[in-house]
């Protein structure tokens, strides 16, 4: 099947988080589609999220893993009927990421049908838009999947190669103070003041905006939520804040936690708890897989391909956490999570040619 037709089939599944039967149905569909060609297919289901892993060989550790997700963010029903305008397909999931997933599914089907026995794996999951806990994170951490290199076509549009991505540390911090009347503050301990003092102390290591650095490739901090106090004339005895730190390599989750803890110890009465985290991605430009990928992409496209970086996180963070070099790259499209999501179908075919040339080079 051409990528175009498979993409249209995939888009008609309304695979949003609140439709578990559709998450199962799309994985059933892909499993049926791939099963005649002799790939090894493994099914997983955890907390109602279905996944499929395809490999050519009997291994959980192929040389290269590709990963794609088949869930999408919610949209009006009409966005689940693909609209074709020549080379463009519009609708939910066209670019994020049923288009690139269709590329991967077709690539694996085509290679297997030709009798190839490449050392490759494909991971297809259905919970990326809600955090990947039961998909990629589960498969890598609990099921023991691994690889020497990974590619995720979920970012880096127009074939840019994303080899750096910021890491994230989200935590909540809370302070217990002592209530008192607002006219006798010396009798109390103001919990909001404690949080503010902690935040100001921790913020000292982050550049303040405007920072003057055009690409903002630096650590950042944001209080996303703060809650505390009841009345103007009461010293608050409790305050809680949710803080979002983004960091660049060589910072890690562990070193950033140590930094948070160093500030916390200065303010007795504060406690914190990590809500979620993700390691930063950094694949050095001399990595042989990365070099080969760039050479192949340059050859197929007939132009220079740039390395680039992204501030937001992808499923790549779970590969990075396992020390697996991972890159993010994609075809041409846009409007993800918006009413105008679209993909250029010809560019999907180009992406398939790049991936095919890459795997023929590195994973035979």
To Zn ion, the closest distance from the beta carbon of 221 in angstroms equals 11
Q: Which stretch binds Zn ion (CB under 5 A): 22-30, 48-56, 213-221, 231-239?
A: 213-221
Q: How far is the CB of 222 from Zn ion (least distance, A)?
A: 12
Could you tell me the CA-to-CA distances from 243 to 31, 110, 173, 260, 337 in Å, in that order? 41, 46, 8, 11, 24
Nearest distance, CB of residue 256 and Zn ion, angstroms: 17
Binding mask 182-211 for Zn ion (x = CB under 5 A): -----------------------------x
DSSP 208: P
> In terms of CB distance, is 15 or 219 closer to Zn ion?
219
Rank residues 113 and 213 by Cβ distance to Zn ion and give the closer one: 213
Structure tokens given for 300: 């197929």
- Measured CA to CA in angstroms, residue 175 lies from 178, 189, 194, 223, 243 at distances of 10, 10, 7, 15, 14
Instruction: Considering the complex, state which of residue 309 and residue 352 has its C-beta at the smaller distance from Zn ion.
Output: 309
Contact 178, 189 (CB under 8 A): yes
Which of the stretches 50-58, 167-175, 216-224, 225-233 binds Zn ion when contact is defined by CB under 5 A? Answer: 216-224
Report the nearest approach of Zn ion to the CB of residue 241 (Å). Answer: 22
Q: How many residues appear in the chain?
A: 364
Q: How far is the CB of 211 from Zn ion (least distance, A)?
A: 3
Q: Are 88 and 5 in contact (CB under 8 A)?
A: no
Residues 55-114 interacting with Zn ion (rule: CB under 5 A): none
Token pair listed for 321: 């956490």
Q: Smaller CB distance to Zn ion: residue 39 or 248?
A: 248
The count of C-alpha atoms lying within 13 angstroms of the C-alpha of 163, restricted to the half-sphere facing its C-beta, is: 17
Rounded least distance, CB 207 to Zn ion, Å: 6
Q: Give the H or E element holding residue 282.
A: strand 281-282
Give the nearest residue (CB) to Zn ion: 211
Q: How far is the CB of 209 from Zn ion (least distance, A)?
A: 5
Question: In DSSP terms, which residues pair with 334 in a beta bridge?
Answer: 342
Query: Please, which residue, 47 or 208, has the CB nearer to Zn ion?
Result: 208
Q: Closer to Zn ion at the Cβ: 247 or 293? A: 247
Spatial contact of 165 and 281, defined as CB atoms under 8 Å apart: yes
| Nearer to Zn ion (CB atom), residue 33 or residue 206 | 206
Q: How many residues bind Zn ion (CB under 5 A)?
A: 3
Nearer to Zn ion, 12 or 216 (CB): 216
Shortest gap between Cβ of 332 and Zn ion (angstroms)?
Answer: 28
Q: Which residue, chain included where needed, has tokens 């994985």? A: 27
The yes or no reply on residue 216 touching Zn ion (CB under 5 A) is yes
Other C-beta atoms within 10 Å of 363: how many?
19
DSSP 8-state symbol, 158:
T
Return the structure tokens found at 119.
Answer: 């050392």
Q: Beta-carbon neighbour count of residue 113 at 10 Å?
A: 12
Q: Which range of residues in 36-44, 158-166, 214-222, 255-263 is near Zn ion by CB under 5 A?
A: 214-222
Q: Strand pairing of 161-165 and 307-310?
A: parallel
The contact set with Zn ion (CB under 5 A) reads 211, 213, 216
């Amino acid at each position: 099947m051409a990528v175009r037709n498979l993409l249209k089939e995939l888009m008609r599944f309304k695979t949003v988080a609140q439709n578990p039967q559709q998450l199962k149905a799309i994985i059933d569909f892909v499993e049926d589609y791939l099963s005649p060609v002799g790939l090894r297919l493994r099914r997983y289901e955890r907390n109602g999220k279905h996944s499929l892993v395809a490999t050519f060989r009997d291994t959980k550790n192929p040389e290269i893993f590709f990963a794609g997700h088949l869930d999408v963010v919610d949209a009006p029903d009409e966005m689940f009927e693909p609209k074709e305008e020549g080379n463009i397909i519009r609708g939910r999931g066209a670019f994020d990421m049923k288009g690139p997933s269709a590329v991967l599914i077709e690539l694996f089907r085509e290679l297997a049908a030709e009798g190839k026995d490449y050392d490759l794996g494909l991971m297809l999951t259905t919970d990326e838009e809600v955090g990947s806990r039961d998909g990629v994170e589960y498969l890598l951490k609990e099921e023991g999947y691994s690889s020497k290199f990974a590619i995720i076509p979920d970012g880096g549009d127009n074939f840019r190669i994303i080899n750096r991505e910021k890491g994230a540390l989200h935590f909540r911090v809370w302070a217990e103070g002592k209530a008192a009347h607002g006219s006798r503050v010396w009798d109390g301990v103001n919990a909001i003041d404690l949080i503010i003092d902690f935040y100001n102390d921790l913020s000292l290591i982050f550049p303040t905006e405007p920072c003057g650095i055009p690409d903002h490739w630096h650590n950042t901090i944001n209080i996303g939520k703060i809650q505390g106090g009841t009345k103007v004339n009461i010293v608050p005895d409790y305050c809680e804040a949710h803080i979002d730190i983004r960091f660049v390599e060589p910072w890690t989750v562990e070193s950033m936690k140590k930094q948070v803890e160093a500030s916390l110890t200065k303010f007795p009465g504060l406690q914190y708890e990590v809500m979620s985290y993700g390691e930063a991605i950094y694949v050095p430009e001399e990595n042989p897989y990365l070099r080969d990928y760039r050479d192949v992409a340059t050859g197929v496209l007939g132009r220079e391909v740039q390395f680039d970086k992204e501030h937001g996180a992808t499923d790549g963070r779970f590969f990075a956490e396992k020390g697996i070099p991972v890159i993010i790259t994609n075809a041409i499209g846009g409007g993800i999570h918006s009413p105008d999501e679209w993909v250029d179908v010809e560019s999907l075919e180009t992406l398939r040619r790049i991936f095919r040339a890459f795997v023929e080079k590195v994973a035979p």
